Amino acid sequence: MSSESSPVAESLGIVQEHTYTFGPPGEPIILENGRAFGPIDVRYETYGNLNAERSNAVLILHAFTGDAHAAGFHTAESKHPGWWNDMVGPGKPFDTNKYFVICSNVLGGCRGTTGPGSMDPETGKPFGLSFPVITIRDMVNVQKRLVDHLGIQRLLAVAGGSMGGMQALEWSVAYPEMVASSIVLASTARLTAQGIAFNAVGRNAIMSDPHFQSGNYYSDQMPAQGLSIARMVGHITYLSDESMGMKFGRKLQERAAYGFDFADQFQVESYLEYQGDKFVDRFDANSYIYLSKAMDYYDLGERYGGLDFAASRITGKVLVISFTSDWLYPPYQAKEVVFALMKAEKDVSYTELNSPYGHDSFLLETKRQGRLISSFLGSVYGHD
Amino acid sequence: MGMIDQQANPEHRVHISYERIIELVEAGSNVLDLGCGDGELLLRLMREKQVRGRGVDIEESMILQCISKGLSVFQGNLEEGLKDYPTGSYDYVILNHTLQMIHDPAMLIQEMVRVGRYAVVNFPNFAHILNRIQLAFGGRMPVNRNIPYEWYNTPNIHFCTRKDFVELCSTLKIDIVRSIDMTRRHTAPPFLHNWLATETCFVLTNTLRT
């Protein structure tokens, strides 16, 4: 597969960001909580070309802390490509020579789409905690407006991992007529109690930071300490015992032997600290609170009277992939979705990839996952 | 050492009975193929009998091949049974050349007739004359084109004979609706099945349910 050679040479090169704005004075969106909300900015990127039949569009749905920048580079100088650069590009599983790929930042995010850090037009100040509590369904409804705006009536595929997988499921249940296929990676129809618990710790860390100030910190100092701790906890849940063992073991960061003082730092500590610090520069603490809450609330079957009823609405093909070492979105949860689909006689395929990387596998096992996805997409594109 | 090569390419032996299985399946029915491998049988069933099909296999590489063919496939372990499959949810549940590799074949057969209106099972007949001769006169475990493995590398952990299987069905109160006995290329002559069939294919159903 061509994705094995240099990522820069094979990447999309420089990609553009776009913003689509809708809502008042036009039609606002009605949120799941019943409130009308808008205007809304949607930051998005597209890669590849829409074909004449408009039948090759693939919507990529990012995870918790992702953004619209899925692939390519923003500037010639930038060192970091988009978050799924190994999966999206010419000759890659989401092959931009064949497909028109769209990725947008979710509602409630902080990377260009309206979220708690955006200006409230009524007060002229950032929303903060006055931002409405949004759901996965609300994110999907916003994406639907974007897809309509782009003139696409039917998506060849909706695809995402983790929170992105929740959106993919929601898309295929909420708008079955618009979804020819969905690709659900390391995801679930509803988070476990354990998953909610870790999110709660993250939110608590942020809210108990003295700089949090009930979410009105934008003109002041960020609750960086709290957000950094939230990210550290998050990172633990994205890895696995095995991957941490392989990556860090019990090695010390700077010393060769224990000094029996608190300057001793194990490598894993240093890694978490680095991840926490890095995260604070690119993510808004309020968005962390809102998006984690949206994941906690998510329950695909709830509004349809159960998972079986929700599954029966789906008309497209579905590919579900889970990872053996993922304890945050464990395989048994993915299988619940698959069995509900099988009971409803839906066209669903499931694989459980044996991988040591925990929940992060869907970002790391790009080769094996990529082969499955490109085959799946190819079969859908050939038949739809 | 030719045996090792054959193991690397097991296709040569499983294709023999595809035609026979396809003949057995009613057009337009709903089929679950356990141990579906690369999905070739399912694909042919879909093309030739317009079935709605789903495969189950344990190997990632096989799942990939099925997905490339556009099939619905589930990566799962048959040793865990079919507990998540509702009773009577398929017309046919097929187990092609896999029974002898299962730890608890009796459990799986019972599960198959629960989930399917019919179960289609085929397996190599260990009582075939060639095997008997090799064991009786050679004093060694049979290795031949029908069972091309040495004892130490065989995936076949539960060999049985045609007769054994018929007896098990009677114990489990499972009806044999039909049986087809085969030699390597042809239907076996209608006598001495337990001596002459290299492979037998049974269509089963649950006595209690019908």
Please name which of B118, B52, B114 lies closest in space to residue B86, comparing C-alpha atoms: B114
Q: Extract the tokens encoding A168.
A: 């993919």
CB atoms within 10 A of CB B139: 7
Indicate whether A294 belongs to any domain.
no
Q: Please check whether residues A118 and A29 belong to one and the same domain.
A: yes
Query: How does residue A3 score in pLDDT terms, banded at 50, 70 and 90?
Result: very low
User: How many Cβ pairs within 8 Å bridge chains A and B?
Assistant: 50
**Of the listed A11, A104, A162, A287, which one is catalytic?**
A162
Please name which of B96, B105, B49, B58 lies closest in space to residue B77, comparing C-alpha atoms: B58
For the stretch A38-72, pLDDT in tens is 999 999 999 999 999 999 999 999 999 999 999 99
Inform me whether the pLDDT recorded for A7 exceeds 60. Answer: no
CB atoms within 10 A of CB A1: 11
Q: Please check whether residues A218 and A70 belong to one and the same domain.
A: no
Q: Please check whether residues A164 and A110 belong to one and the same domain.
A: yes
Q: Please check whether residues A29 and A137 belong to one and the same domain.
A: yes
Q: Please check whether residues A66 and A100 belong to one and the same domain.
A: yes
Model's pTM, two decimal places? 0.93
* The last residue of a domain, from among A289, A323, A338: A289
Indicate whether A237 belongs to any domain.
yes
**Of the listed A182, A228, A359, A374, which one is catalytic?**
A359
CATH of the domain at B119: 3.40.50.150
Residue of A343, A349, A383 lying closest to B86 (CB–CB): A343
Range of the domain at B136: 2-206
Q: Extract the tokens encoding A184.
A: 């659900």
Beta-carbon contacts of B9 under 8 Å, excluding residues fewer than 6 positions away, are: none
pLDDT at A256: 87
* The last residue of a domain, from among A289, A309, A326: A289
Q: Extract the tokens encoding A244.
A: 């941490």
pLDDT at A383: 63
Q: Please check whether residues A218 and A337 belong to one and the same domain.
A: no
pLDDT at B108: 97
Q: Please check whether residues A70 and A146 belong to one and the same domain.
A: yes
* The last residue of a domain, from among A289, A316, A336: A289
CATH of the domain at A248: 1.10.1740.110
Indicate whether A8 belongs to any domain.
yes
Range of the domain at A267: 198-289
Q: In chain A, what residues touch B89 (CB-CB under 8 Å)? A: 343
Q: Please check whether residues A281 and A309 belong to one and the same domain.
A: no
DSSP assignment of A256-295, as one string? SS--SSTT--BHHHHHHHHHHHHHHTT--HHHHHHHHHHH
pLDDT at B208: 65
Q: Please check whether residues A367 and A221 belong to one and the same domain.
A: no
For the stretch A158-187, pLDDT in tens is 999 999 999 999 999 999 999 999 999 999
Indicate whether A269 belongs to any domain.
yes
How far is the C-alpha of B206 from the C-alpha of A111, rounded, in Å?
A: 59
Query: Do the chains contact at B68 and A382, CB–CB below 8 Å?
Result: no
Query: Do the chains contact at B67 and A379, CB–CB below 8 Å?
Result: yes
Share of chain A above pLDDT 70, in %: 97
Query: Do the chains contact at A339 and B84, CB–CB below 8 Å?
Result: yes
How far is the C-alpha of B37 from the C-alpha of B21, rounded, in Å?
A: 15
Please name which of B138, B28, B155 lies closest in space to residue B79, comparing C-alpha atoms: B155
Inform me whether the pLDDT recorded for A382 exceeds 70. Answer: yes
CATH of the domain at A354: 3.40.50.1820
Q: Please check whether residues A181 and A213 belong to one and the same domain.
A: no
Count of domains forming chain B? 1
Count of domains forming chain A? 2
Mean of pLDDT values over A24-31: 90
**Assembly ipTM:** 0.91
For the stretch A67-117, pLDDT in tens is 999 999 999 999 999 999 999 999 999 999 999 999 999 999 999 999 999
Q: Please check whether residues A322 and A202 belong to one and the same domain.
A: no
From first to last of the 210 residues of chain B, give the pLDDT tens digit. 333 333 434 444 444 578 889 999 999 999 999 999 999 999 999 999 999 999 999 999 999 999 999 999 999 999 998 999 999 999 999 999 899 999 999 999 999 999 999 999 999 999 999 999 999 999 999 999 888 999 999 999 999 999 999 999 999 999 999 999 988 767 777 789 899 999 999 999 987 654
Share of chain A above pLDDT 90, in %: 91
Q: In chain A, what residues touch B66 (CB-CB under 8 Å)? A: 349
Q: Please check whether residues A35 and A151 belong to one and the same domain.
A: yes
Residue A326 appears among annotated catalytic residues: yes
Query: How does residue A1 score in pLDDT terms, banded at 50, 70 and 90?
Result: very low
Residue A219 appears among annotated catalytic residues: no
Residue A261 appears among annotated catalytic residues: no
pLDDT at B16: 54
* A327 vs A257 pLDDT, higher one: A327
